[in-house]
Amino acid sequence: MKKIINIILSLSLLTLFGCSLEEEPVTSLGKQAVFNSEDGLKAYMYGLYDILPTPDGIQQSEANLSDYFAYSGVNSFIYKDGYNESSSSSWDWSGLRSINYFIENCEKSTLSDKIKNNYLGMARFLRAYFYYDKVTTYGDVPWIDHPLAVDDPLLYATRDSRETVMEKVYADLQFAEQNITQGKESTCTLITKWAAYAFASRVCLFEGTFRKYHSLSLSTSSDTWLDRAATDARFLMDNGGYSIFTTTDSTAYRKLFTSDAPKTSEIILGVCSSASLNVYHKANWNWNTASYGNCPNFIRPFINTYLMRDGSAYTDKTGYETEDFSSECKNRDYRLYATIRTPGYKREGSIALPDFSGFARTGYHPMKFSVDSKDGDNTLKNTNSLPIFRYAEVLLNYAEAKAELGTISDSDWEETVGQLRKRGGVTSGLSTKPTKVDSYLKTTYFPKISNPVILEVRRERAVELCMEGFRFDDLRRWDVGKLVMMPWRGMFIKDVNVALDMDSNGTPDVIYYTDDAGLASAKSKIDWDKYKSTCAVVNVSKDLTSSIVTVIPNGTGYNLGWGTKDEKLRVFGKKQYLYPIPALVITKNGKLTQNSGWEDGASNDGSDVE
């Protein structure tokens, strides 16, 4: 018996200590392996690219907040009492940690400085991208340049001043400009040194104008930043080898946003999709399906800013206010035809008018990012590439910086705005800077600006870059945030309760009716059975407190209206130039102070609205 127990015990002990309990992971990597090889750095860098916007991020960048769109619902940030420090939630810092982790470990890498600096340049470009977003959203934010340990005092640091942070951002961008080795390349998807220059011009223009129009008295003046913007843009213009993409016909601007392959002459950094790789976005779905998303429609004041092709302002035309859709679309800058559905636009071979009874409540149906094929109208199917940085923006950054500095010349004008207007088919005013103040722009948009060049540069920027994610930043830096309160007025219609021919081709296209009798009368005047499948019917109300599309008398006809009921509830007070830091963030770190006006749960109550 003892013997047996002995055998068992010794057997068990033998097995026990004979078998190690170590199990090394097989399918993941350790830190050394990653950072001591260039392939490792590259693969980590591909992960960091996720900080850049996605295709849907770009095509939806203005899907909720701008001054030129009427939305199906009002963004709570500009809806009276809809927003306070508890509603705020986008205080995400994970992207920064990921970048700083890379920078810290890349600096320790055993690879050569040249290789390391190339990757460090890209990482610092992305860090600048991260911080630019934080500063434009919140103003002062803590500057953090290494991955924090759980007991790092920086976790509980105060906010660093905007001035400090933006100097760091600029330093990151300068490092990126000088150290990224990648130049212009054919896929337009890699971070190049030119992307760093383009971004620097964007950041510096923002900071320069923001300081100027918000009268910030900081030690670095707004002119310093405007100089930087102009210098960086100029360097790219002189050395980057980019040009404005053109074609022999009027379709260049449309093709820029609807081609699968980025137009390499103009796109500096883009986002691609690919059918063969099963990577799609859903621009068609978003911009054609009324029930999907916030359904943005352009409003008429913005459409009015598109020039006539002869170079004159549309708003200088007598009676422009009561021109109907078909008339107002004639002889305009080609870019209008690529931005909204206009008469003559066809999809898959058939006439495609705005979706009057669905998407196009104001009549102006955006189409800049959606393609002519209907395949993706209700599914994820778009493969057109979209821009993050393109040369046209750099030209506009340059023109604006020079205009703000007061040093813009005729040749500057010709090289920048002139080229963009030329692509739009505009035939005059291309080589000399404007000298006449456009009264429509001044009264409708920028009453405080009397410099005709600045006014025209701003018109150009809105027209050229609309929907690409610049507008809300532009409104904030120009100190004209209250433009988001603009009434949402749509196109002019001659009458209600009659069938209207919107494209002047002889067939009725839409009936705006106020009641059943009106609809019946409109139908009775045409061969309804013949047109019922193509003629839309839209119920409208003359009562401006109604929730449906409204009609506002204008001369002998009406303008379409949307959201008239809540018009007065859209607000933009002084505090709204910055978002509040989320309340919980301040609870966790009491040293963070709230942005002015947002303290103690105060809401966007519309105070300070002029």
DSSP for 391-458 reads HHHHHHHHHHHHHHHT---HHHHHHTHHHHHHHTT--SSSSS---S--HHHHHHT-TT---HHHHHHH
- Can you tell me whether residue 290 is helix, strand or coil? coil
Contact between 189 and 271 under an 8 Å Cβ cutoff? The reply is yes
Residue 508's Cβ-count burial label (10 Å; 0-12, 13-18, 19+) is buried
Over the Cα atoms of the chain, what is R_g?
28
Which tokens go with 250?
A: 């009027």
Residue 340 or residue 536: which is nearer to another protein going by CB? 536
Question: Which of 244, 242, 243, 267 lies closest to 257 in space, CA to CA?
Answer: 267
Q: How far is the CB of 55 from another protein (least distance, A)?
A: 9
Q: How far is the CB of 9 from another protein (least distance, A)?
A: 9
Q: How far is the CB of 394 from another protein (least distance, A)?
A: 22
List Cα–Cα distances, 298 to 67, 71, 434, 516, in angstroms.
9, 9, 27, 29
Residue 14 or residue 406: which is nearer to another protein going by CB? 14
Residue 247 or residue 379: which is nearer to another protein going by CB? 379
Residue 45 or residue 307: which is nearer to another protein going by CB? 45
Residue 49 or residue 183: which is nearer to another protein going by CB? 49
Q: How far is the CB of 285 from another protein (least distance, A)?
A: 8
Residue 44 or residue 257: which is nearer to another protein going by CB? 44
Contacts of 149 (CB under 8 A, 6+ apart): none
Rounded to whole angstroms, how far apart are CA atoms 382 and 458? 31
Q: How far is the CB of 155 from another protein (least distance, A)?
A: 5
Contact between 392 and 242 under an 8 Å Cβ cutoff? The reply is no
List Cα–Cα distances, 521 to 272, 499, 518, 536, 551, in angstroms.
51, 10, 5, 15, 18
Q: How far is the CB of 443 from another protein (least distance, A)?
A: 29
Q: How far is the CB of 201 from another protein (least distance, A)?
A: 24
Dihedral through CA 281, CA 284, CA 288, CA 290, nearest 10?
-10
Q: How far is the CB of 124 from another protein (least distance, A)?
A: 16
Question: Which of 536, 534, 564 lies closest to 548 in space, CA to CA?
Answer: 564
List Cα–Cα distances, 607 to 135, 324, 330, 603, 604, in angstroms.
23, 38, 42, 10, 8
Question: Which of 291, 193, 285 lies closest to 242 in space, CA to CA?
Answer: 193
592-596: Cβ within 8 A, 24+ apart: 592/142, 592/158, 592/159, 593/158, 593/159, 594/85, 595/138, 595/139
| Ordered strands of the 536-541 beta sheet | 489-493, 557-561, 549-554, 536-541, 510-513, 499-500
Dihedral through CA 534, CA 509, CA 359, CA 74, nearest 10?
-150
Residue 173 or residue 191: which is nearer to another protein going by CB? 191
Q: How far is the CB of 445 from another protein (least distance, A)?
A: 26
Contact between 337 and 250 under an 8 Å Cβ cutoff? The reply is yes
Q: How far is the CB of 332 from another protein (least distance, A)?
A: 26
Q: How far is the CB of 82 from another protein (least distance, A)?
A: 5
Question: Which of 110, 227, 127 lies closest to 168 in space, CA to CA?
Answer: 127
Rounded to whole angstroms, how far apart are CA atoms 424 and 308? 10
Contact between 594 and 88 under an 8 Å Cβ cutoff? The reply is no
Q: How far is the CB of 562 from another protein (least distance, A)?
A: 9
Residue 381 or residue 476: which is nearer to another protein going by CB? 381
Q: How far is the CB of 221 from another protein (least distance, A)?
A: 30
Q: How far is the CB of 136 from another protein (least distance, A)?
A: 18
DSSP label at residue 266: T
Residue 218 or residue 290: which is nearer to another protein going by CB? 290
Q: How far is the CB of 425 from another protein (least distance, A)?
A: 32
Residue 105 or residue 201: which is nearer to another protein going by CB? 105
From the CB of residue 78, how many other CB atoms can be counted at a distance below 10 Å?
Answer: 24
Residue 142 or residue 424: which is nearer to another protein going by CB? 142
Residue 47 or residue 344: which is nearer to another protein going by CB? 47
Contact between 130 and 176 under an 8 Å Cβ cutoff? The reply is no
Residue 329 or residue 581: which is nearer to another protein going by CB? 581
Residue 379 or residue 443: which is nearer to another protein going by CB? 379
Residue 142 or residue 597: which is nearer to another protein going by CB? 142
